[in-house]
Amino acid sequence: MVVVGAGFGGLSTVKGLRRADVDVTLIDRHNYHLFQPLLYQVASALLDPSDIAHPVRSILRGVPNCHFRLATVAGVDFERGIVRTSTGDLEYDHLVLATGSATSYFGNQALAGRAYGLKDLGEALALRARVLDVFEQASRTRSPDERRALLTFVIVGAGPTGVEYAGALSELVHHVLKRDFPDIDVEGVDIVLVEAVGSVLGAFAAGLGRRAEAALRRKGVRILFDHMVSEVRDGEVVFASGAHLAAQTMIWTAGVSADTPPGLAGIERTAQDRIRVNPATLEVVGQPDVYAIGDVAACPGPDARPLPMVAPVAIQQGQQVARVIAARTRGEAGPAPFRYRDRGSMATVGRNVAVAQIGPLRLSGLLGWMTWLFVHLMSLVSFRNRLLVLIGWAWNYVFYDRPVRLIVSPTPPSEIAGGRPTLP
């Protein structure tokens, strides 16, 4: 069988089949598993990429019936049972699609070319470098207008990612960059959180959203409700109302869509390009023995709406698919229909402040923050990741320091061959 995607859902499936009589090939275009919920901390110079990513082959050491292939999927031939990849074709009897999600700009390609996303390591590193670079530029310019635009950061989307990054960016500016750039008055830095509706964290209880909003305002974040971005020009953000805002950096956290592989002709899709599945077995509608899980799957929940695109959904769906496939290989009746068990939602606004809703329980402030810390720390894939993240958090908490303030970009081979100086 073949599993496409080494995210939460794909790894959950593979681990659930480690004692089953199946031969599994896991495909991913990266050789690491990424803990996406902490990507914003890489972008805000708190954590190093290796703190939240772990090599897939290392994770699979305890799964003897799984083989990893670093490749991209070019298409699927459902009739012949073949996955076409950049490194050759693979036959399958069971196929699991667990490819996750990608940033959605709602078809606005101009935004896609000018806004920074926060869905993978490359985007997080690019955003980190951008923030540090504009501070370097601002320290050199003598034009107040240019400096104001350079130090204006527009974050579009007040969901968990937007809220968490806004809080982290504010702390980076006021606790760290204030000391790095003594010639810049950080009170003039404008962090603007833009939301199309009238509240932050719309998926949370209203009271928690209001607490998160109040915490952001205390951190100096400016919030614009009922605003929609229509265009981004050089040094300017344009809203649907016609209003303009001079800003050199825009971060887009306003939407995601399923990151489905190409070549899935005939598959039923829903909103956000998600794949329609059988809610009991998670099989793709019309394609027996082909499963879709996690962000890529449109699986209805108790309220008939698709389940949220979050890690716990992917993990539980991966476990269900593993049970279904294991039962079928043994010739047994399948397990009980899939039922998602909501473990709650949480978001942090920064130091000592987070909100969490776990069933009927509502937490905020320090207690919510400690809950957020524990859950995210224990969700990391390895002990090494947990230890490094804990050390990073402790260092930042005690010393108000973000140690990974590096502006890094890859050096193309052509530049190396062109005679750039190297160390002896």
CB-based contact 324:280 (threshold 8 Å): no
Closest by alpha carbon to 251, among 148, 130, 136?
Answer: 130
CB-based contact 272:257 (threshold 8 Å): yes
Cα–Cα distances (Å) from 213 to 198, 250, 341, 345, in that order, read 11, 20, 28, 16
Which residue blocks in 4-73 are alpha helix, DSSP H?
8-16, 39-43, 49-52, 56-59
* N-terminal to C-terminal alpha carbon distance within the chain: 49
Q: What SS3 class is residue 264? A: coil
Which residue blocks in 106-246 are alpha helix, DSSP H?
109-114, 121-140, 144-150, 160-171, 178-180, 206-218
The strand pairing partners of 66, in sequence order, are 24
Among 91, 123, 146, 164, the active-site one is 164
Cα–Cα distances (Å) from 260 to 178, 264, 374, in that order, read 42, 8, 32
Phi, psi of 33 (to 5 degrees): -95, 130
What does the DSSP 8-state code read for residue 119?
S
Distance CA 418, CA 275 (A): 48
Neighbouring CB atoms inside 10 A of 150's CB total 25
Closest by alpha carbon to 19, among 331, 320, 323, 332?
Answer: 323
Q: What SS3 class is residue 89? A: strand
* Concatenated DSSP letters of 248-263: SEEEE-S-EEE-PPS-
* Residue 117 tokens, joined: 């996303």
Q: Residue 223: CA atoms inside 13 Å, Cβ hemisphere, count?
A: 25
- 136 given a catalytic annotation: no
Buried/exposed 373-410: b ≥16 CB within 10 Å, e otherwise: bebbeebbbeeebbebbeebbeebeeeeebebbeeeee
Amino acid at the residue 167: G
Query: What residues are labeled active site?
Result: 164
